[in-house]
Amino acid sequence: MSPYEIFSSHVRDNSPVALATIIEGPNVGALLVVTPQGVAGGTLGNSEIDRVVSRDTMGELEAGRTIVRHYGPEGQSTPEDLIDTDTVRVFIESFSPPPLMWIFGAVDFTAALARVAKILGYHVTVCDAREIFATRRRFPMADEVRVTWPTPMFEERGDRLGPRDAVCILTHDPKFDVPAIEGALATKVGYIGVMGSRKTHEKRLERLADVGITSAEQLSRVHSPIGLDLGGRTPEETAISIVGEIISSRTGREARSLGATDGPIH
């Protein structure tokens, strides 16, 4: 297989892969395909620079970073070794698997949220214990539809969730959403949101207290009622308000019109 084929098959399989490409210096355009296990294809021209650059690329890939690094022609990376030599600039580009979104509850809002999440690049799993609702036919846009309860779902693969990921609980049903919140809080997931009216939210707090979830630190991780206050109503508008909240909680920005704020946009 060519380096491109090796690279694209990793991306398609959602397995982490990085490209390290010489963008300046000898052998411009030469590249390495690197996985967490090491070099999977290509060469930068000699084994020494391949060794040094692949080592650095594995580090960048682990951190999910995309960056330009500088070397000598034989892979020298300490500044003293770079004096009076040609510099090789290497563009290291990390392709991490897509972030995950788990949506609990197979309702109308779920389909709209799954569609919007796909636009943002999420790998979307819809989960509901009711077999007649949690079907592929109703959620063709989801990557996966699971018929199961929240607790086994989190026990099985809660350790896959990290800071880039999101859990959205749209069930409105305490027997489903309380264990989903409990399960999500036991993971490192970056965003937890729970749908419901303000009244439902108050009742839910009582039920969470019943199962021992009372600390401000835990509750501050739970966005409830889910979404930004955009004033929308339809499932699609609600989906936009949810992903808007996910983005603003990641960036730490208060979601307001740019026209009403100062400072840099990006």
Partner 1 sequence: MRDLLDDIDRWRAAGKRIALARVVDIQGSGPRGAGAAMAVNEDGEVIGSVSGGCVESAVVTEALAILSGEQPSRVVTFGYSDDDAFAVGLTCGGIIHLFIQPLEW
The contact set with partner 1 (CB under 8 A) reads 2-4, 8, 11-12, 21, 23-24, 28-29, 31, 42, 66-68, 89, 91, 93, 95, 98, 121, 264-266
Residue 54 CA to chain centroid, in angstroms? 24
- Residue whose CB is less far from partner 1, 29 or 231: 29
Give the nearest distance from C-beta 44 to partner 1 in angstroms: 12
- Residue whose CB is less far from partner 1, 45 or 174: 45
Give the nearest distance from C-beta 53 to partner 1 in angstroms: 15
Q: Give the count of beta carbons closer than 10 Å to the beta carbon of residue 55.
A: 14
Q: Give the count of beta carbons closer than 10 Å to the beta carbon of residue 214.
A: 11
**Structure letter (DSSP) for residue 118:** H
Q: Give the count of beta carbons closer than 10 Å to the beta carbon of residue 143.
A: 17
Say what angle helices 108-119 and 235-251 make with each other, to 10 degrees: 50
- Residue whose CB is less far from partner 1, 164 or 172: 164
Distance CA(5)–CA(14), nearest Å, equals 14
- Residue whose CB is less far from partner 1, 42 or 196: 42
Give the nearest distance from C-beta 154 to partner 1 in angstroms: 28
Give the nearest distance from C-beta 89 to partner 1 in angstroms: 8
Residue reference for tokens 């630190």:
217
- Residue whose CB is less far from partner 1, 93 or 173: 93
Distance CA(184)–CA(4), nearest Å, equals 37
Cα dihedral sign, 107-112-117-123 = positive
- Maximum separation of any 2 CA atoms in the chain, in Å: 70
Give the nearest distance from C-beta 122 to partner 1 in angstroms: 13
**DSSP track, 175-207:** HHHHHHHHHHHTS--SEEEE---HHHHHHHHHH
- Residue whose CB is less far from partner 1, 92 or 185: 92
Distance CA(105)–CA(125), nearest Å, equals 11
Give the nearest distance from C-beta 118 to partner 1 in angstroms: 11
- Residue whose CB is less far from partner 1, 100 or 180: 100
Distance CA(170)–CA(159), nearest Å, equals 21
The residues, ordered by sequence, that sit 6+ positions from 259 with a Cβ below 8 Å of its Cβ are none
Give the nearest distance from C-beta 202 to partner 1 in angstroms: 41
